[in-house]
Structure 1
Amino acid sequence: MLALLSVSDKRGLVPFAQGLVRLGYRLLSTGGTLEALKAAGIPATQVSEHTQSPEILGGRVKTLHPRIHGGILGRPDLESDKAEMAANHIEPISLVVVNLYPFRQTVASGAGEDDVIENIDIGGPAMVRASAKNFKHVAIVVDPDDYAPVLAEIEGHKAVGLETRRRLMRKAFAHTAAYDASISGWLSGEAQEPFPEELSLAFRKVQGLRYGENPHQRGAFYKEYAAPKEPSVAFAKVLQGKELSYNNILDLDAALGLVLEFPEKPCAVVIKHNTPCGVAVDDVLEKAYRTARAVDEVSAFGGIVAFNREVDEATAKAMAETFLEAVIAPSYSAVALQVLAGKKNLRLLEAGPALASPTAAPRPQVDARSVSGGMLLMDRDAVEPPLEWKVVSKRAPTPEEERALRFAWKVCKHVKSNAIVFAAPAQLLAQGGGQTNRVDSVRIAMTRGGEALKGSAVASDAFFPFRDGLDEAARAGATAVIQPGGSVRDAEVIAAADEHGMAMVVTGVRHFRH
């Protein structure tokens, strides 16, 4: 029996190869894999010796040869194939162990174009696909995690069973498809084409989920192959707690996106059902959390929390006062972890030091959304508030009102449309969103905020189509308003602001979130 081994990822290679030799396999190998086998004292034949053809073009051509691909693609149960193989001195290869050049790792390292291109594998994918196509006769192994079960099956049954070969075949085609998608994605990025004519996506499964949004829906969580420089939920380290759910992951991502809006000072964000119900900044993290939680204590129960600074003992003790589902932060002090260890079901995620950077920012990327029979893509809404706004009211905002407007505008981006946010300079006061008309969103926020809205600033994610929403905001006590403008009734709305003595600025930028 002949096996061909050529791997970039050498985890578990030596014991696997030793097991194959012990079970009667002869090994073919190339390059660094061959060196690793020989260093371990494992007998192996160089591919060029087997093919009687030298490696050429600096190693670019090694396995692209009829004695390799004929050995892989030959069908021993087909007389014509057997005859051709015998005539051409081609020996069947029944086991192929290949994983591909480290293209993604090379890109992630910041290497130049020449190095990246050189790490595009050619012979490897050809062998993987050939082996997978001929799975009825060849076992293809692309993942070191499959070494142990494959060895066990050979040892127990003298061969790799058909169903296992079928499973390995599916995994192999997924492996090469994801590899090619990574190459295509890198090339599109280099050409600054975020929306190519043909779209290929490459993600690796993190975990299966108990269910999706509801118990009757299946779910799974996938991540990109290379960790981004920016903090992300997919690459955060889970320190404790129950298994993350589909809804946990959605809410953690929403919380992370919002807390990244306020990198300059300690910030705490509370999310419930993908909606901000508490946001505050302060010089002290514990105070920021307590202020954020106090915005809506009822909704904060069972909420998701994000921080942009290390969680200390005081903040941990404050969190322990309320039932929370999950927390994401740059890190946790040792004492904080001891405090929170008592909350065994509380999921703690550590996103790393990038989240605590005073220059941290949301990652520039493309948002994807499936629709029936297709997919929508768009740039992520990462537009920052302009430094200079157009004041359209008779009165300009005071410095304090301007700080509150900027805070409200950043939060408003993260509330479902039609979004209305009331805020002070350093905290969310109330929000209303997800309604089919803007005035209802204002009224919901008024009910939640009550007297706290006196002297507040209010943000609207899109223009006021009528003055009624603005009139309600003024009745709630708001003294300044920020909105994109652009309505045919802008003059009417601006006049209403002047009637109420409100300062109004327009941004020219809309923040719909459906």
Structure 2
Amino acid sequence: MHLRYGLNPHQRATAEPIGRPPFRMINGEPSMINLLDASNGWQLVAEARARLGRPVTASIKHVAPAGAAAAGPVDDVIMDSWPIEDAPTPVLSAYLRARDADPRSSYGDLVAVSDSVDLDLARFLGGVISDGIVAPGYEPGAVELLRRKKRGRFLIMEADPAAAHPAEELRQIGGLMITQQTDHDELTADLLPAQLDPGDRDTALLAMITARHTPSNTVVAARDGAAIGVAAGQQSRVDCTRLAVGKASAWWFRRHPTTRSVAGPPGTRRQDRLNLRLALATGDPTPLESGQLLDELGDRLPTAADRAAWLAGLDRVIMVHDGAIPFRDNVDHAARIGTTMIIEPGGSTAADTVEQACTEHGIALIRTGRRLFLH
């Protein structure tokens, strides 16, 4: 497989299959990053599809999911954000929910889809900024629609569900060749309490699988079968928790009536409007954005008390850590977004303190004994 380049344009690269290729190129010429995104994204959605029994999609950026979701209800905020007139198909609903987790990060993503791409999803992708897609199949006409993107350079890959994942992974680092077993341990409902509500069970499984396919340190906040805050690659676990909490808070505050009313200056493009709403939702606008929001909203700008009152309405959040929680501050931050369940491997020297913090906040603590590191 010819690659445009490796991680950077000045690095030449090639890709050769080991055994049966996991996917084939239908259109476009990938870089190494595109292949890494496609591989990680496809593994995520295929595993989640097998566990949840319904379509799953992921929005991948730099080998990490900006969002991941199963097919399900699409709320008015999502419908208002995009030019959607009819009720979305299951595959499209899954992608809308995945992209909604962090629409700013999903700009220019690689889309991973567990099921065949239908015409509705293909048409939708034709109107947003995205770099490529990987899926096990495409309904008649979908590929033709997608080929038109990026002046014919849109990456279209067809995954092979029958391709066996290698039993071992090889990585050459400097003068070392490292071999390890591929992480094939299954993440199933057996790791969760038997009495768990089916909806919470599916959300927990999706969050765990998303964490497994996100570079560590990883914290995933999820609700109603969709990730609403994915934090990746942080050196400090509490920083990772704060990032996931911040993303989930912004996701929720985008549903505030004032945020939804933001239109931006005349002529504002859809993505710029989304970014302006996100600036308001995060509470950290740039000076330019602050001026635009002040001009439009005036005394309707939300106060700190408004934000706190609205955030108090967020509930039923499930948070997954890929590694053991080292200090209770992670739990205290999680409690700010209505977290009702935290899932972690366990084994920290502060395990008792973490458990006590969960009890104080009324958060169920589940310890799976399963670490999910990815590097």
TM tier, shorter chain?
0.7 to 0.9
Provide the residue aligned with 1:458 in structure 2: 319
Q: Is the 8 A contact 1:213 1:247 kept in 2?
A: yes
Does residue 91 of structure 2 align to residue 302 of structure 1? Answer: no
Residues 399, 501 of structure 1: alpha-carbon distance in 2 compared, 3 angstrom cutoff: farther
> Shift of residue 398 of structure 1?
4.6
Q: Is the 8 A contact 1:364 1:382 kept in 2?
A: no
CA distance in 2, matches of 1:426, 1:337: 28
1:427-442 pair list within 5 angstroms: 427-442=226-241
Provide the residue aligned with 1:350 in structure 2: 158
> Shift of residue 254 of structure 1?
1.1
CA distance in 2, matches of 1:347, 1:320: 13
Q: Is the 8 A contact 2:61 2:105 kept in 1?
A: yes
Amino acid at match of 1:414: H
Q: Is the 8 A contact 1:239 1:349 kept in 2?
A: yes
Amino acid at match of 1:341: R
> Shift of residue 496 of structure 1?
0.5
Does residue 62 of structure 2 align to residue 273 of structure 1? Answer: yes
SS in 2 for 1:334: coil
Amino acid at match of 2:116: E
CA distance in 1, matches of 2:347, 2:103: 36
Provide the residue aligned with 1:426 in structure 2: 225
Does residue 104 of structure 2 align to residue 315 of structure 1? Answer: no
Does residue 364 of structure 2 align to residue 503 of structure 1? Answer: yes
Does residue 199 of structure 2 align to residue 406 of structure 1? Answer: no
> Shift of residue 362 of structure 1?
7.3
SS in 2 for 1:496: helix
Does residue 227 of structure 2 align to residue 227 of structure 1? Answer: no
Amino acid at match of 2:178: L
Within the candidate set 24, 27, 37, 1:240 is matched to: 27
> Shift of residue 409 of structure 1?
1.0
Amino acid at match of 1:440: D
CA distance in 2, matches of 1:365, 1:482: 27
Per-residue displacement from partner, 1:44-76 (whole Å, max 9, x unpaired)? Answer: xxxxxxxxxxxxxxxxxxxxxxxxxxxxxxxxx
CA distance in 2, matches of 1:398, 1:472: 25
CA distance in 1, matches of 2:54, 2:34: 26
Amino acid at match of 2:71: D
Does residue 46 of structure 2 align to residue 260 of structure 1? Answer: yes
Does residue 129 of structure 2 align to residue 336 of structure 1? Answer: no
> Shift of residue 372 of structure 1?
2.0
Within the candidate set 61, 81, 98, 1:292 is matched to: 98
Residues 400, 310 of structure 1: alpha-carbon distance in 2 compared, 3 angstrom cutoff: closer
Does residue 11 of structure 2 align to residue 217 of structure 1? Answer: yes
Q: Is the 8 A contact 1:405 1:425 kept in 2?
A: no
Provide the residue aligned with 2:355 in structure 1: 494
Q: Is the 8 A contact 1:407 1:424 kept in 2?
A: no
> Shift of residue 425 of structure 1?
3.9
1:345-384 pair list within 5 angstroms: 345-352=153-160, 354=161, 363-384=165-186
Q: Is the 8 A contact 2:48 2:205 kept in 1?
A: no
Per-residue displacement from partner, 1:406-457 (whole Å, max 9, x unpaired)? Answer: 2211111111111100012411111112111111001111221216363210
CA distance in 2, matches of 1:401, 1:351: 29
CA distance in 2, matches of 1:210, 1:240: 13
Residues 364, 506 of structure 1: alpha-carbon distance in 2 compared, 3 angstrom cutoff: farther
CA distance in 2, matches of 1:390, 1:299: 31
Per-residue displacement from partner, 1:312-349 (whole Å, max 9, x unpaired)? Answer: 11111111121211111111122212322321121111
Residues 403, 267 of structure 1: alpha-carbon distance in 2 compared, 3 angstrom cutoff: closer
CA distance in 1, matches of 2:31, 2:107: 17
CA distance in 2, matches of 1:488, 1:425: 32
Provide the residue aligned with 1:201 in structure 2: none
Q: Is the 8 A contact 1:261 1:362 kept in 2?
A: no
SS in 1 for 2:339: coil
What is the aligned residue count? 290
Per-residue displacement from partner, 1:94-122 (whole Å, max 9, x unpaired)? Answer: xxxxxxxxxxxxxxxxxxxxxxxxxxxxx
CA distance in 1, matches of 2:197, 2:330: 22
Provide the residue aligned with 1:447 in structure 2: 246
Residues 314, 484 of structure 1: alpha-carbon distance in 2 compared, 3 angstrom cutoff: same
Residues 477, 362 of structure 1: alpha-carbon distance in 2 compared, 3 angstrom cutoff: farther
SS in 2 for 1:505: strand
Q: Is the 8 A contact 1:268 1:306 kept in 2?
A: yes
1:168-207 pair list within 5 angstroms: 206-207=1-2
CA distance in 1, matches of 2:196, 2:114: 29
Per-residue displacement from partner, 1:103-156 (whole Å, max 9, x unpaired)? Answer: xxxxxxxxxxxxxxxxxxxxxxxxxxxxxxxxxxxxxxxxxxxxxxxxxxxxxx
CA distance in 2, matches of 1:379, 1:425: 33
CA distance in 2, matches of 1:240, 1:272: 20
Q: Is the 8 A contact 1:386 1:507 kept in 2?
A: no
Provide the residue aligned with 2:84 in structure 1: none
> Shift of residue 482 of structure 1?
0.4
SS in 2 for 1:384: coil
CA-atom RMSD in angstroms? 2.0
> Shift of residue 386 of structure 1?
4.6
Amino acid at match of 2:92: E
Q: Is the 8 A contact 2:199 2:225 kept in 1?
A: no
> Shift of residue 484 of structure 1?
0.4
CA distance in 1, matches of 2:103, 2:192: 36
Within the candidate set 216, 226, 232, 1:417 is matched to: 216
1:56-75 pair list within 5 angstroms: none
SS in 1 for 2:14: strand
CA distance in 1, matches of 2:69, 2:247: 17
Gaps of 5+ in 2: 73-89, 253-313
Q: Percent identity?
A: 33
CA distance in 2, matches of 1:492, 1:427: 29
CA distance in 1, matches of 2:13, 2:145: 32
